[in-house]
Structure 1
Amino acid sequence: MTQRFNRGEFWLLASSVEYSIPLPLLALPEWAPGGAMNTIDICLNRHGHGLDFQALVDTLLHVRRNGWIQFGRPLAGESVPFSEPDADEIAAFLRERGRGLDTVHYWLTVEGGAAWEAFARPRWEKYLTSSCEFPQDGSTFERSYTLETSDWQWLDKYLRAQATEQVIETGSMTLGELRPWQATYWKTLPFGLRCTFRSVEHRLRGHVPDSSRMLASWCEWR
């Protein structure tokens, strides 16, 4: 049977597939003229949930009671989630000041991830994470990258796209296998690959790079 959600429920699940979301962020305006920074569309780089405050509280409560999300404060180490919050407590979480790790976040449970997967049907073989660090020691290279994915061909294609956007320092690339691979905080796959390399030059382009398109291609329903 196909998993069914209303728009708000799916938005909450899809927004937290890769990382936890601070609840106060959900209470921000969805957008503002002129590209104001303090809006959902800027902070999350996605359209807002379309819910008024009370509907947002009710939807969070419903999704939690379905066992799809948990609440906690990452900075306080509260990875063991709160006991069942009621509507008033959720409203108070949404009204907290700030959006840092000291505020209440929500994240997917394994059951919530599975519910999202059943509808979104992600192609995990095309899921690829890319992280970048900038040197602090005066090194000549500009950036240090770490890539993780589960498919050799997809990794090779991504590296070829990267080669048109930057110059990879000769001899800097390393490859390794991950068994298992923690693809996201809730999703584990039996096999993964890790690739690291250094970039010595970044080539500016006037269009969206192919590598950026590849990062977004693993799931259309996000």
Structure 2
Amino acid sequence: MDEDDLWLLEAVVELATPLHMLLGPKVALALNMPRGHGLSPEALCEKLASLSERELIRVHQAGDEAVVARTRAELERALSQGERFSPDRFVYRLTPRGGEAWEHYAQPDWSRYIDAGWDREPEICVIEAASREAAEEEYQRHERSGNEYRPLPESKHGEVLRPWWATYWKVLPAGYRLRYAWVSRQLDVHRIMSSPPPAPWYSSLAHDR
């Protein structure tokens, strides 16, 4: 397992990634990674084929998971196929074995993992965490944030999840989901820039070279 393998595993820890995003000029920015992979298209294809052969990743069509790409020839076609929102595009994701391999190196602390997202129709935010305490702490961070979503405290509602699908591949015995409604507020860029980022919940394997 080398640093390129680990980069490709880390890139899909939380979400499957369309293959075409690996070929863009600003891969690190697009995937919110510390750096890009630095591989040529040929080397990237070799790496994907190797990870697939070792059953650490699965490459399949976005619109039909039964259509998979495993060999180098299949992956070469998959890398060049499909537009951004096309069901014909190919994505790759971790297998359970790949998730275990990533955990071995990254040593994640799942008690600190937070999944939060805002929807506009309806205007709801959903926070998922390993515990009620962690979800409430994240909610308080949202209240203090300078972003454009102001929480409505009276709308807050929580529930225990058993089991908890923390990510598409990682299942934990229990978790907690907190929902709240929000209304728009003035964006406070200064507050956003001055707020400390959340502590990392795993050791990144994709540091700058």
Give the TM-score, by structure 2 length: 0.86
Matched, 1:103 2:80: no
Question: What aligned pairs does 1:1-222 form with structure 2 within 5 A after superposition?
Answer: 5-29=1-25, 39-46=26-33, 47-75=35-63, 77-78=64-65, 80=66, 82=68, 85-100=70-85, 101-135=87-121, 143-165=123-145, 167-202=150-185, 203-206=187-190, 207-208=192-193, 210=195, 213-214=197-198, 217-221=200-204
* Amino acid aligned to 2:118: C
Pair 24,200 (structure 1): closer, same or farther in 2 beyond 3 Å: closer
The one-character-per-residue Cα deviations of 1:120-155 (angstroms, maximum 9, x if unpaired) are 01110010101111146xxxxxx3100000123222
Note if contact 1:25-1:94 (Cα within 8 Å) is conserved in structure 2.
Answer: no
CA distance in 1, matches of 2:93, 2:82: 19
SS in 2 for 1:213: coil
Pair 43,167 (structure 1): closer, same or farther in 2 beyond 3 Å: closer
SS in 2 for 1:18: coil
Pair 168,97 (structure 1): closer, same or farther in 2 beyond 3 Å: closer
CA distance in 2, matches of 1:217, 1:174: 26
The one-character-per-residue Cα deviations of 1:8-47 (angstroms, maximum 9, x if unpaired) are 1111100001111111221223xxxxxxxxx313321222
Q: Report percent identity of matched pairs.
A: 27
Aligned residue pairs, count: 198
Give the TM-score, by structure 1 length: 0.81
* Amino acid aligned to 2:37: H
Specify which structure has the higher proportion of strand: 2
SS in 1 for 2:104: helix
SS in 2 for 1:219: coil
Pair 112,81 (structure 1): closer, same or farther in 2 beyond 3 Å: farther
Q: Which runs of 5+ in 1 are unaligned?
A: 30-38, 137-142
Cα root mean square deviation, aligned? 2.1
* Amino acid aligned to 1:26: L
Q: Which runs of 5+ in 2 are unaligned?
A: none
* Amino acid aligned to 2:61: R
